[in-house]
Amino acid sequence: MDRDEGRGRSSWRRIRVNSPAGQTIPVAVVGASGYVGGEILRLLLGHSGVRVVAVTARESAGRSIGDVHPNLAGVGLTLAPLAETGDAEVLFTALPNGETMHALGSLPNRPVIDASADFRLRDRATYESYYGTEHACFDRVGEFAYGLPELFRDRFADLRSIAAPGCFATATILALAPIVAAALDDTIVVNAVTGSSGSGAKPKGVAHHPFRSDSFLAYEPFRHRHVPEIKQALADATGRDVDFVFQPHSGPFSRGIFVTAVVRLARPSTPAEIRDVYEKAYSGEPFVRIVDGSPNVKWVRGTNRCDIGVACDGKTAVVTAAIDNLMKGAASQAVQAFNARFGFDERTALDLYAAAV
């Protein structure tokens, strides 16, 4: 999509389809023992343009990858201490929120694809308010592009590193960006549900799956940490500063994000008109599908896809979106951003389809 100066939109360019001829980049996965690190590694092992030269961790250093991630048994990699990244030229960091900013000074000075929240927000006070901690190296935030390729891939080459978006943020931004860019929104209420894997590999109270498996609950009204991230990205992509209510929920499943955005329209519109806004916005995007009816987290599980459904009664639009929180919401999004940043076809290692059951 070309730049639309009249609406102040970012350039949503189509993907590059030519990989760098013969290029193989040595990479390391820092924090490879968690769910996201394991998924990043799994994808990179199938990437034709990289060599995984190191996998590192704090508590699991010295253990084989197969011990920590049995699904990756036999790959012949052993977890090294956190900062021992060998001759890697690009670092994928998959540490918990708040840890990458402390680890960065001990890591080699290389481009970083970071899956944490440490470098997403450009306002220090906002970061510290929502994350409840001082930022350890805020002077380095300016080195990171916000890594949602569908909206910002044209900015990746201008910056050294990439901050991959959060899971709730990814689904919500993709659900809202077209309708906000078209200035069709009046009021917006977003309800979003996440699976238990979004809380990480270590059990945490009510986030622990045995507690969640038969429950459904809301949490953090008005103050979820992805709210400023969503607002920042929508403003950057559309030129508009929009308000919305965002209510997250904890769902009884392990993988997935499901977002329902109820948008009171600024002017009457037909279902066909609203759908056309989305079809045009994501034309040519290989990982966004506009579907009939409702998306389903089962149909995107294990993939880099975001499925979006659109309904409208003339006065209100209901936009639904589904992603895998560990994939498009974290690991595969980081790989997609890496592909875009370093000139690979964005589909490299990511042409995946969900299992039927």
- Residues with a catalytic annotation lie at 167
* Residues 6+ positions from 36 with CB-CB distance below 8 Å: 94, 115, 326, 330, 331
Q: In angstroms, rounded to a whole number, what is the distance separating the alpha carbons of residues 259 and 323?
A: 9
Measured CA distances, 176 to 4, 5, 235, 345 (Å): 17, 19, 11, 26
In whole angstroms, what is the distance from residue 194 CA to residue 167 CA? Answer: 9
Q: 9, exposed or middle or buried, with CB in 10 Å at 0-12, 13-18, 19+? A: buried
Instruction: Return the structure tokens found at 102.
Output: 């402390």
Q: Are 97 and 169 in contact (CB under 8 A)?
A: no
Q: Compute how many other C-beta atoms are within 10 angstroms of the C-beta atom of residue 280.
A: 11
Residue 238 · residue 181 · CB < 8 Å: yes
**Rounded to whole angstroms, how far apart are CA atoms 275 and 150?**
18
Rg value, the chain, Cα: 19
Cα 19 to Cα 307: distance, rounded to the nearest angstrom: 26
Residue listed under structure tokens 């694809």: 113
Contact 169, 150 (CB under 8 A): no
Nearest to 197 by CA among 186, 179, 209, 206: 209
Strands 161-163 and 112-114, by their bridges, are parallel
Return the closest-CA partner of residue 258 out of 229, 295, 232. 295
